[in-house]
Amino acid sequence: MVYKKSNTRLKFTLLIIACISFLFYYSCDNIFSPTLDTTSSSSILTDQKTVEGLFKNFQYSYTFKDTTVYGELLTDDFLFTYRDYESGFDVSWGRPTEMKTTSGLFQNTEKVEVIWNNIIYQAGDSLDQSVKRSFNLTITFNPSDIIRINGFADMTLTRPTANDKWLIEKWRDESF
């Protein structure tokens, strides 16, 4: 009788372990190999077929410091220009320098936040747009080194056809 009682207890214990294993196996993924969350970026990124969509993707690229997304905003012949007030003349560079500069910004900061404000001026057609928009940029290198920049982005946007996404061809930074 002792044998029978201990055999029943063993079967019951094995049944409980099997049920727990079954529930564990089918209720979750491997915690040491989680799946990649592909839904978050697809719901945040837009297809850039609207001007506002381009600005949302720009904001996403800065918020998440994503140079791949940022690169998808620029034409191959992109030109960035800003005014060097100390020297008294404009400085410009093309896409390769812009990508290196932006990558350096993303790598050497804790946080970069751009807030797009009102569109001051917008004109053009379905293939080319001139957009001037105010922005606030906050660059956090560390908690005691934070730079805040307010200004305007004067951009020329283009696309090959009305069904394509908008791209930035020229960006003149008018920061204060």
Average pLDDT over residues 74-103: 96
Phi, psi of 28 (to 5 degrees): -155, 165
The answer to whether residue 57 scores a pLDDT higher than 60 is: yes
- Report the CATH number of the 39-175 domain: 3.10.450.50
Report the chain's C-alpha Rg in angstroms. Answer: 27
For residue 63, give both structure tokens: 């918020």
d(CA 148, CA 140): 9
Average pLDDT over residues 118-139: 97
Q: Please indicate whether residue 89 or residue 176 has the higher confidence score (pLDDT).
A: 89
Please give the pLDDT value at position 39: 47
pLDDT digits (tens, 9 = 90+) for 110-122: 999 999 999 999 9
The answer to whether residue 172 scores a pLDDT higher than 60 is: yes
Confidence of residue 29 (pLDDT cuts 50, 70, 90): low
**Mean pLDDT for the chain?**
86
Phi, psi of 2 (to 5 degrees): -65, -40
Please give the pLDDT value at position 15: 57
Q: Please indicate whether residue 39 or residue 16 has the higher confidence score (pLDDT).
A: 16
Q: CA 105 → CA 52, 88, 93, 164, distances in Å?
A: 24, 24, 16, 29
Confidence of residue 154 (pLDDT cuts 50, 70, 90): very high
- Domain spans in the chain, listed from the N-terminal domain onward: 1-35, 39-175
Please give the pLDDT value at position 38: 47
The answer to whether residue 139 scores a pLDDT higher than 90 is: yes
The answer to whether residue 44 scores a pLDDT higher than 50 is: yes
The answer to whether residue 23 scores a pLDDT higher than 70 is: no
Please give the pLDDT value at position 47: 86
Average pLDDT over residues 61-85: 97
